[in-house]
């Protein structure tokens, strides 16, 4: 017995079903659901022979696995290096942000402690040091 052909309207309904699919996606589960919702008794081979259904199935399967379409279709070595670099830089940003926040809390704590010391001029604590000024040493001209 030859399985019935799937009309364009039925194919669209199956693709919509795949797009909205939640939970584990298998060809067997799809065949069962197509039979129940669309009313067409078919096989995995028949469904996979339709380009639109097959592409939609692969895309949704990858999305449910956590892969995004560009990542599962074609990845080059340079793209892998770029992804690794991005992940490393994001981790570095996270660490630096944490360190920055800790240093700011330390400075605030030191200033709060300095305010509690009687007769201490806070301006004296924050004025520029001689080694910080530009052109601290004059240049010799020959």
Is 142 part of a structural domain of the chain? Answer: no
Instruction: Let me know whether 23 and 65 are in one domain.
Output: yes
Residues 12 and 63 grouped into a single domain? yes
pLDDT tens-digit readout, 63-121:
888 765 555 556 677 888 888 899 999 999 999 999 999 999 999 998 888 888 888 88
Q: Are residues 91 and 108 in the same domain?
A: yes
Q: Encode pLDDT of 33-43 as tens digits.
A: 999 988 889 99
Residue 85: inside a domain, yes or no?
yes
Q: What is the pTM of this model?
A: 0.46
105: in domain = yes
Tell me the pLDDT tens digit for each residue of 85-95.
Answer: 999 999 999 99
HEC assignment per residue over the chain: CCCCCCCHHHHHHHHHHHHCCCCCCCHHHHHHHHHHHCCCCCCHHHHHHCHHHHHHHHHHHHHHHCCCHHHHHCCCHHHHHHHHHHHHHHHHHHHHHHHHHHHHHHHHHHHHHHHCCCCCCHHHHHCCCHHHCCCCCCCCCC
Task: Provide the token pair at 101.
Answer: 């926040």
Q: Identify whether residues 25 and 48 lie together within a single domain.
A: yes
Residue 140 lies in a domain: no
Query: Same domain, yes or no, for 65 and 84?
Result: no
Q: How far, in Å, CA of 141 to CA of 135, rounded?
A: 14
Residues 69 and 88 in one domain: no
Picking from 63, 73, 74, 85, the residue whose alpha carbon sits closest to that of residue 19 is 63
The answer to whether residue 135 scores a pLDDT higher than 70 is no
The structural domain count of the chain equals 2
Same domain, 64 and 107: no
**Treating both helix axes as pointing N-terminal to C-terminal, what angle do 8-19 and 27-37 enclose, rounded to 10 degrees?**
120
Does 84 lie in the same domain as 48? no
Looking at the structure, do residues 42 and 58 belong to the same domain, yes or no? yes
* Per-residue pLDDT, 121: 83
Contact partners, residue 62, CB within 8 Å, separation at least 6: 68, 69, 72
* Shared-domain flag, residues 23 and 63: yes
114 within some domain? yes
Domain hosting residue 114, numbered range: 77-127
């Amino acid at each position: 017995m030859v399985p019935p052909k799937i009309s364009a309207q039925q194919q669209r309904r199956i693709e919509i079903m795949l797009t909205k699919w939640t939970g584990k996606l298998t060809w067997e589960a799809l065949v069962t659901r197509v039979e129940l919702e669309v009313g067409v008794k078919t096989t995995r081979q028949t469904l996979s022979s339709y380009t639109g259904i097959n592409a939609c199935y692969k895309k949704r399967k990858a999305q449910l696995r956590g892969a995004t379409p560009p990542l599962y279709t074609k990845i080059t070595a340079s793209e892998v290096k770029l992804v690794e670099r991005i992940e490393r830089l994001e981790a570095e940003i996270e660490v630096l942000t944490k360190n920055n926040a800790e240093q700011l809390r330390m400075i605030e704590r030191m200033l709060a402690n300095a305010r509690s010391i009687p007769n201490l001029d806070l301006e004296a604590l924050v004025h520029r040091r001689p080694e910080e000024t530009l052109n601290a040493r004059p240049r010799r001209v020959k």
